Amino acid sequence: MENLKLEATRYTPAISFDCERHVLEINGESYPENIAEFYAPVFSWVEEYLEQLEDQEVMVNMELIYFNSSSSKILLDFFELLEDASSNGKRITVSWIYEEEDEDTQEFGEEFQEDFESLKFNLVQKNS
Amino acid sequence: MLKNLYDFKKDLNRRGVFFCFSGPVSQELLVEIGATLKQKMRLEETRNSTALRVFSMVVEQAQNIIHYSAEKCPKDNDNPPTENAEELSIGIIAVGYEDQHYFVLCGNRIRNQDIGRLRERLVNLQKMGKDELKKFYKQERRKGPSPGSRGAGLGFIDMAKKASKPIEFDFRKIDGNFSFFSSKTVI
């Protein structure tokens, strides 16, 4: 399969999913008007990737400066896919990266962390 | 209107409002409004986290107008909107500062038959404390959107969570079919 690379726009994040290095990165802001349209190809890529993944270690780096409430639902769906894969023995680590004084993004990270059991979910504070 | 424009502006400023837009709202406009507000707050050395909260309220409110306003352009579009039909939603957004807090005002037309459900939802949120809101947010996010919702149905809960006071709201009757819905969130 091929890597997925989408450039950031003013209201969609950069997507950089690398199936050779096993690094998946989402970076930027997410508040599109039509959320399903933007994320559909992202989800199909991840589903296909998890299907063919063996025992390689996968790093998922999430660095979102801002996301709206419908993106928050999409993120939950995304982490649920990863949680299911983790329960089936896949080795996945999520890093939730936030700026030092951004309490809201930190809190969102903590809330996601509470929601998952098998998935390794780390909170990473960036020093600005 | 020409002679009153200055009075209108003074009136807004007297009420603490430093930004106001009334008319058709689009995603592109929202992005520009957001960028300009962020720039203004940066120039005034507003804390980053506060500026981000103001921005997030403006996004949720503007997208509420885009998705749910019952005042559309073209006008006679009385059918429920379909995914691909091109149309614009009309509403009003204002941002201000009073008593050391930013606030966001938002208004749009709504069908009378939708008032009951929205009022119930907002009254319910007004009664919740921070922990309840957090729990409710997580529960609703897991549940997924209710029928008729065009987003995740989380906008008002998200705003209530980030606000420093319960969301205030008002419905003003226009005619037998429509009312005007206004809300105020304080950051």
Q: Is A116 near chain B, with CB under 8 Å?
A: no
Q: How far apart are CA A106 and CA A125, in angstroms?
A: 8
Q: Is B59 exposed, middle or buried (0-12, 13-18, 19+ CB in 10 A)?
A: buried
Chain A residues in contact with B31 by the CB 8 A cut-off are: 10-11
A38 pLDDT higher than 60: yes
CATH number of the structural domain spanning residue B87: 3.30.565
Q: Is residue B148 part of a domain?
A: no
Per residue in B78-133, pLDDT tens? 555 555 568 899 999 999 999 999 999 999 999 999 999 999 999 999 999 999 99
Q: Is residue B142 part of a domain?
A: no
Enter the tokens of residue A104: 């809201």
Closest to A104 (Cβ–Cβ): which among B35, B152, B162?
Answer: B162
Domain range A4-126, its CATH number among 3.40.50, 3.30.750, 1.10.1760, 1.10.390: 3.30.750
Chain A residues in contact with B52 by the CB 8 A cut-off are: 65-66, 102, 104
3-state DSSP of B60-76: HHHHHHHHHCCCEECCC
Q: What angle do CA B114, B111, B65 make, to 5 degrees?
A: 90
pLDDT > 70 in chain B, percent: 90
Closest to A33 (Cβ–Cβ): which among B27, B53, B55?
Answer: B27
Q: Is residue B68 part of a domain?
A: yes
- The ipTM of this complex is 0.90
pLDDT in the model for residue B149:
67
pLDDT in the model for residue B83:
56
pLDDT in the model for residue B82:
58
pLDDT in the model for residue B150:
67
Q: Is A103 near chain B, with CB under 8 Å?
A: yes
Q: Give which of B107, B78, B103 is closest to B91, Cα–Cα.
A: B107
Q: What is the pTM of this model?
A: 0.91
Considering only alpha carbons, which residue of chain B is nearest residue A80?
Answer: B142
Q: Is A35 near chain B, with CB under 8 Å?
A: yes
Q: Is residue B145 part of a domain?
A: no
Per the CB < 8 Å rule, is A68 touching B63? Answer: yes
Q: Is residue B128 part of a domain?
A: no
Chain B residues in contact with A70 by the CB 8 A cut-off are: 63, 151-152, 154-155
**Amino acid found at A41:** P
Q: Report, as ranges of residue numbers, the positions in chain B whose pLDDT lies below 70.
A: 76-85, 145-152
pLDDT in the model for residue B144:
74
Q: Give which of B84, B89, B88, B92 is closest to B19, Cα–Cα.
A: B92
Query: Residue length, chain A?
Result: 128
Per residue in A84-120, pLDDT tens? 999 999 999 999 999 988 999 999 999 999 999 899 9
**Full domain range(s) for residue B20:** 12-111+163-186
What H or E segment, with its residue span, contains residue A71? helix A69-87
Q: How far apart are CA B108 and CA A30, in angstroms?
A: 24
CA–CA min distance A91, chain B (Å): 24
Q: Is residue B37 part of a domain?
A: yes
If one counts the domains in chain B, the total is 1
Q: How far apart are CA B83 and CA A59, in angstroms?
A: 36
Q: Is residue B155 part of a domain?
A: no
CA–CA min distance A73, chain B (Å): 6
Q: Is A42 near chain B, with CB under 8 Å?
A: no
Enter the tokens of residue A109: 């990270």
Inter-helix orientation angle B155-162/A69-87, to 10°: 100
Cβ neighbors of B121 (< 8 A, separation 6 or more) are: B156
pLDDT in the model for residue B80:
58
Q: Is A77 helix (H, G, I), strand (E, B) or coil?
A: helix
CA–CA min distance A68, chain B (Å): 7
Q: Is residue B70 part of a domain?
A: yes
Test the A interface: residue of B31, B41, B125 with most A CBs within 10 Å: B31
The CA-atom distances, in angstroms, between A94 and each of A10, A72, A114, B15, B150 are: 24, 16, 13, 46, 29
What is the average pLDDT score of chain A?
95
CA–CA min distance A128, chain B (Å): 11
Q: How far apart are CA B154 and CA A76, in angstroms?
A: 13
